[in-house]
Structure 1
């Protein structure tokens, strides 16, 4: 498959042109012996396609093979003719698969008679062109199979062959006869009369489900319809908004001078590619700037796409947007049913939904009239897909905005170093919000020394006393501990035995609800031992603290105050998270114990004290991004304090209070630490000043990954030397957790100061792996721009 047309370099630099020099590979065709149409002596088909019909379709199939497969068109062509973007059902081996037409041409590498025909064309019109472009760009940039990219980027029901069309619902409303003062025929049908009276109060009609919810029946609806008193019409589940209708359901909030300046800057170039980094402290009103920008975009008849990092943020974001706008606002995230997801996707593609809000995968939502893209909390690691198609939604948002020529806004209180580097270089506009909407300044981090202090549930006495004072004053406290479970592990006090996972190089976490040992890497679980498996001692003790242990300690210390634990274990049930937040927002004194689920974007107006149980996890980790990510997390969780009428306080417990990075963060703030980290990255030749790709190898056989890793490194270094590419090949080395899920993991890193060379080297490495028989016995993946080395 030839690559898409190259685009000029833009903000992130990942649109720079490059043409990978690949080793030759097999023709992109699919043939099955014994299944061909008759051909004459010259190899021509006895039943050739009609004129103006392509003789060959290049189809992307959901498979890991990085190629198209050639098929002949079926006899019945779609109404608009064969075009890229049409879904087709084709034979593939012994299966029937849904693929997407990518190319229409007249020839193939093999005789046309040997090609299988398409079984069925599933679409009358092709899938949206902007969606197809984005998928092709994603597959090329992230070195991933196009067929699998297309498969992952469409809703499940489209993958299964469901047509892309709007589902409809019935809506009933009175006819002119039904609006008469005393319609005939209802004297002996009081329930029909009541139903008609209710419908008269809704001149635009009511849906069937809303009517049935009022204890009326379908028989009564049909009876009124037979009498000509009411009529029925079908309408899409997402009704379109008509230009000229009121746009806002409530007036916008007044802006302070910084917000007004930022919004004016965004309004300057609504019809052009305009990347902006909106850096605003927590509580500074970034969302209000988003809302007023979207008001301008939708008012011009265009659509806005808003990306949020976590599914937990989607309900509150949806509620705020729907309370502000009268237009349809649709959501796309993993919590939807397949039907709901397809409905939202179709409403966005058709243009009926002017506002689309979603998590990472929503970047692939087609838009009929794109007007702006907003990425909230752009620094968040959840925008990077960590398996399969390893794309970064933030980076694709920038690429997509460039393609459409529209503004893209990336907002954060703690921007990623990549985004800060683009803003500092002038490639992006840097907008700052330094003041909170409330009158209180953001709380500073107060470092609390843990050394030599007795702890209860991970908390030391001065911190417990601060919690008591805050609760006594009638306020709320958030205790942040980024480790779920009761304790990080279970240990024998007699011999030092530790509960370790049989399948991973990791210790098992002790849980109390229910009581068990669980590995958080492979989800392996086992019962608690009665005695030490090593020495037989019964003196088994939990080591460290998790959310369950801290919750238990606080419940014992403050029995009169409710304690709410929020982590992945306690919020598994649908809407559990929202129910807890609803209770918290009532304002009664309470204690919140949670992981990073609580740190992102939640407005908790009654929280005035935040306690960080242990700030040391990322200070000395092997991953070079760990310090950046830890600092972002600390600042984000600190931002939950003092967001309303009362000032906030943040206590950070640490064993390394004299660490220079931690002290700079506490005393000078995130911006000062980020500037220092950027200088350190520049000196070390690390992103964002250098570009990385990471080859990951895994197998249940350690010798298999070691052998393939060594061969791949040797072949790549030789290949780079022949072409004179300035790309470093580092490794192979074991992954930070070498054994996980009973598989051994090995890594090979590519690094270059030129992105085009890195991609060329990555393409060459992928081609070598695909042609190497040993690689078929090892699972491998190439991660472009990896966000973690784990």
Structure 2
């Protein structure tokens, strides 16, 4: 290969093209496709990914710059993944260089080597003879230490990185060591005894037997909450390992909060040596270490959030997407991919099965199953054989804003607490109150940067915009009429916690939301208090709506279920039904029967009546019928062109120009345009937001029109303050 051979490089810049470089005199061997290189670009150094070699191009060799360094002798992104990312960048209208960068761990983007670097001085922690002799109840005033002691007793010696990964903190470790109850072993960790597989009920066995592991097929595992979907995942992986001892399984979970408990479950079954985690809660080094172990196949089970879909898997055998309906699988900025959909595409490319699991499948997924594009596996009853919780509607129209709970709800809470059980009060609104209003003139305190009301918080006391993060002190008087009578209206989790603390003074009230779990280990500490089983009231947001197994929780009270019914987003009712069903599934998962109370001002709404009957299948099919009548997804396909700028006219006029260009193509392509129109929240963060909707029955038409728009916008001279984006298959219509 000559020195004039052009190396095609994708760079992390917002330009939809690749760039040619020469080898240079100091580089003797051309880098392979998928390797990283360091190159000069516009007066700076960038790290790009090699996409190939060529002997010709538009520029003369004398005008090309040379590579500065080749960072990898072998590809860090295998050809299979490059193909997936190429397709994704084209479909989601993202520059290829930015998409490739998004697929790499942070340290690789910065130029670090793809090597595993663990601290060799870290040895596993184990119980001392004194620790082995202590009962589980020996540390009643130190629950975190007691939990760590029990964990080491149950699962044997563990390294600090593993203990950190499953939620323990150094303080508990240090204090147990000071007490002489644990010590560091001087030999490598031995493989612990593993948890045995559970016996499957007939429905679970039928579902497991239907999964074919030697070819591609997408399976929708639709199972009611508590039906044992995770056990099917575990046993499917066990069968995979029996077929091929080197095989790897990728498990995607929607949120960091679900990752630790999922990791623990899989480690108990397969041993910690085989399992790694990939999520944003880890340090950059920990993420790279896990990525390297997946690449060299020393890790066989990779559990991660959205971006883990781009992890290299040399021996891929199975992909699982748990809680597949969750909107967090869709990236909302930059490279706007959907990890669930890419999991299906990657499974097809690799010829391996894909399992999509959910108690409340996304309507798009359900539609594919009903049309036999996916194999539909159903679990209609709980694995414990206990009946689902009883659901009842309670009229909330006369409830005072101060308490937020009806007398019927309070009576039920008191009854369950007296029986020694736990209660969940669910409200998907953090803070003390959603607005502060003047009693005299009716003025509501608004964010100065957004079209939004400021939320009142008490801990600490301030006003906070949850859209742009603006914060300010609580006002002493109305800025319009100078009245001092400012009233907190509405209910947030802080206010619910305050009221319940006063109403049930002898009961432990545990609030779990983004505000109460900001500090390290706060979430795991609060969950541990719940898992201890003592009577308590858990007040929380959607952070605790899914995936958690609270053995002693028998009542769930859901406040303000009407917001989904009144949503301007066409997905609002679907998400409301999913959320209610997921929250209801936390109650009565063990021997005791469960109960769910829905507080609503619209008790006779037909969708709520379907949910109360416990028939989520009827609910989802009713929504599918509505979508078919209105020709909304999954019966059509959407893309949103968004624009925002400090001046409203700048964004609106930009989209009007784009609309004028697109009008010439819509008829031939069978597409429809709606807009430009203001976003549901027009002003956010001092920027005015507008959008235009593209709709068609054909994905190909959407893709073709979006490509034409991208090319056209590239020719426009836009205002420097204007920002625009294209979101294909949007999950948020704002």
Q: Above 0.5 in TM-score?
A: yes
**Residue of structure 1 aligned with 2:427, choices 481, 487, 493:** 481
2:61 paired with 1:112: yes
Q: Secondary structure at the match of 1:662?
A: helix
2:85 paired with 1:135: yes
2:135 paired with 1:148: no
Moved more, 446-455 or 427-436: 446-455
Aligned twin of 2:320: 374
2:107 paired with 1:157: yes
Q: Secondary structure at the match of 2:233?
A: helix
Aligned twin of 1:447: 393
Moved more, 673-682 or 440-449: 440-449
Is the 2:369–2:375 Cα contact (8 Å) retained in structure 1? Answer: yes
Q: How far has the Cα of 1:137 moved from its partner? A: 2.0
- What 5-or-longer segments of structure 2 have no aligned partner? 124-156, 163-172, 179-183
Q: Secondary structure at the match of 1:400?
A: helix
Q: How far has the Cα of 1:667 moved from its partner? A: 2.0
Is the 2:639–2:727 Cα contact (8 Å) retained in structure 1? Answer: yes
* CA gap 1:206/1:642 in 2 versus in 1, 3 angstroms: closer
Q: Secondary structure at the match of 2:714?
A: helix
Distance 1:779 1:770 in 2: 13
2:328 paired with 1:385: no
* CA gap 1:550/1:206 in 2 versus in 1, 3 angstroms: closer
2:271 paired with 1:294: no
Aligned twin of 2:703: 759
Distance 1:737 1:588 in 2: 43
Distance 1:404 1:775 in 2: 44
Aligned twin of 2:406: 460
Moved more, 666-675 or 101-110: 666-675
Q: Secondary structure at the match of 1:617?
A: helix
C-alpha RMSD over aligned residues: 2.3
2:591 paired with 1:648: no
Q: Secondary structure at the match of 1:774?
A: coil
Is the 1:169–1:208 Cα contact (8 Å) retained in structure 2? Answer: no
Is the 1:282–1:413 Cα contact (8 Å) retained in structure 2? Answer: yes
2:52 paired with 1:103: yes
Aligned twin of 2:669: 725
Q: How far has the Cα of 1:668 moved from its partner? A: 5.0
**Residue of structure 2 aligned with 1:93, choices 42, 45, 60:** 42
**Residue of structure 2 aligned with 1:774, choices 697, 718, 728:** 718
Q: How far has the Cα of 1:512 moved from its partner? A: 0.4
Moved more, 282-291 or 456-465: 456-465
- Which one has a bigger Cα radius of gyration? 1
Q: How far has the Cα of 1:103 moved from its partner? A: 2.1
Aligned twin of 1:32: none
* CA gap 1:693/1:647 in 2 versus in 1, 3 angstroms: same
Is the 1:54–1:105 Cα contact (8 Å) retained in structure 2? Answer: no
How many residues are matched? 679
Q: Deviations over 1:465-523 (max 9, x none)?
A: 11111101100000000000000010111110101111111101000001111000000
Q: How far has the Cα of 1:663 moved from its partner? A: 1.3
Is the 1:455–1:461 Cα contact (8 Å) retained in structure 2? Answer: no
Distance 2:406 2:648 in 1: 44
Q: Secondary structure at the match of 1:771?
A: coil
Aligned twin of 1:355: 301
For residues 266-665 of structure 1, the aligned pairs below 5 Å read: 266=211, 269-299=212-242, 300=244, 301-326=246-271, 327-454=273-400, 456-665=402-611
| TM-score, normalization by structure 1 | 0.83
Is the 2:564–2:576 Cα contact (8 Å) retained in structure 1? Answer: yes
Aligned twin of 1:196: none
* CA gap 1:270/1:439 in 2 versus in 1, 3 angstroms: closer
Aligned twin of 1:126: 75
Distance 2:160 2:628 in 1: 63
Q: How far has the Cα of 1:438 moved from its partner? A: 2.1
Distance 1:580 1:569 in 2: 13
Q: Secondary structure at the match of 1:731?
A: strand
Aligned twin of 2:628: 682
Distance 2:418 2:390 in 1: 22
Distance 2:230 2:673 in 1: 43
Is the 1:504–1:522 Cα contact (8 Å) retained in structure 2? Answer: yes
| TM-score, normalization by structure 2 | 0.89
Q: How far has the Cα of 1:130 moved from its partner? A: 2.8
2:687 paired with 1:737: no
Is the 1:565–1:593 Cα contact (8 Å) retained in structure 2? Answer: yes
**Residue of structure 2 aligned with 1:66, choices 5, 16, 22:** 16
Q: Secondary structure at the match of 2:38?
A: strand
* CA gap 1:720/1:664 in 2 versus in 1, 3 angstroms: same
Is the 1:769–1:775 Cα contact (8 Å) retained in structure 2? Answer: no
Distance 1:76 1:364 in 2: 32
**Residue of structure 2 aligned with 1:671, choices 597, 617, 626:** 617
Q: How far has the Cα of 1:54 moved from its partner? A: 6.7
Moved more, 447-456 or 356-365: 447-456
- What 5-or-longer segments of structure 1 have no aligned partner? 1-49, 174-204, 216-220, 222-229, 240-244
* CA gap 1:495/1:262 in 2 versus in 1, 3 angstroms: same
